[in-house]
């Protein structure tokens, strides 16, 4: 069984409007996931530097970033990054361009974890419903075009307020939407904007929203998580 999580860290700016990457790291350590998809993990302008310094991860975490960044000081691609256990290995990784009016992207990686290869996708979709669906189609087309089929986990901030329509309907045709719960706003969560989506290879053992005291302050989104096991 593995544990996965998705977390929009809002550039490490908390609900108190202070930028404190140490709080994000503390929340990640509380969750103790094997795989994490991060959104808004780089600053938006200039050199787009990572808001979680690599030395903090190296010294105070069992997680390592999948090397997907296109800029030397960034952690991810358009703010999307994937973290995996230091004991896991990266088999392949790719940054995906998504159709959008403003810069949007997704990241994908094949990793070897828990004795077998897995495929992960991290994404942060558009505020516009039309563009969200176009972006969902782009992600699904990329997965459909892969030479090798692997057990797949898709995670991220989908910005979809509807419970089952829009891009969720697109992802849900061949995948399962994990019922993690509302994660936005962190102080009073009512929106299920953050989602974990899995291929049919997976059994969802448990899932939820991590709503610790630290998480309610570290970002305006709460992290979501799921414990998964592969079908025989």
SS3 (DSSP) at 152:
strand
pTM: 0.95
Per-residue pLDDT of 7-31, as tens digits, reads 999 999 999 999 999 999 999 999 9
The total domain count for the chain is: 1
Per-residue pLDDT of 213-227, as tens digits, reads 999 999 999 999 999
* Banded pLDDT at 68 (limits 50, 70, 90): confident
Query: By the 8 A CB rule, do 201 and 231 touch?
Result: yes
The rounded percent of the chain whose pLDDT value lies above 90 is 84
CB atoms within 10 A of CB 211: 15
Domain coverage including residue 81: 2-230
CB atoms within 10 A of CB 9: 27
CA 209 remoteness from chain centre: 14
CATH of the domain at 211: 3.60.10.10
Predicted local confidence at residue 71, as pLDDT: 80
Predicted local confidence at residue 81, as pLDDT: 96
Q: Which are the contacts of 187, defined by CB distance < 8 A and separation ≥ 6?
A: 15, 216, 220
* Banded pLDDT at 70 (limits 50, 70, 90): confident
Predicted local confidence at residue 85, as pLDDT: 97
Query: Rounded to the nearest 5°, which phi and psi values hold at 105?
Result: -155, 175
Mean pLDDT of 126-139: 95
């Amino acid at each position: 069984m593995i544990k996965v999580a998705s977390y929009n860290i809002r550039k490490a700016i908390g609900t108190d409007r202070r930028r404190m990457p140490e709080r994000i790291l503390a929340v990640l350590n509380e969750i103790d996931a094997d795989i994490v998809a991060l959104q808004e993990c780089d600053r938006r302008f200039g050199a787009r530097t990572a808001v979680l310094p690599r030395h903090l991860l190296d010294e105070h975490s069992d997680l390592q970033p999948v090397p997907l960044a296109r800029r030397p000081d960034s952690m991810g691609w358009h703010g999307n990054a994937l973290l995996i256990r230091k004991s896991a290995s990266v088999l392949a990784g790719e940054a995906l361009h998504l159709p959008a009016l403003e810069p949007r992207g997704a990241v994908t990686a094949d990793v070897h974890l828990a004795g077998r290869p897995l495929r992960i996708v991290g994404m942060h979709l558009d505020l516009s419903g039309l563009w969200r669906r176009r972006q969902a189609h782009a992600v699904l087309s990329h997965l459909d075009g892969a030479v090798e089929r692997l057990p797949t986990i898709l995670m991220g901030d989908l910005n979809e307020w509807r419970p089952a329509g829009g891009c969720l309907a697109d992802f849900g045709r061949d995948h399962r939407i994990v019922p993690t719960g509302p994660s936005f706003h962190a102080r009073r969560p009512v929106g299920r904007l953050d989602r974990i989506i899995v291929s049919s290879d997976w059994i969802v053992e448990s899932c939820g929203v991590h709503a610790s005291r630290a998480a309610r302050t570290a970002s305006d989104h709460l992290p979501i998580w799921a414990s998964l096991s592969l079908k025989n």
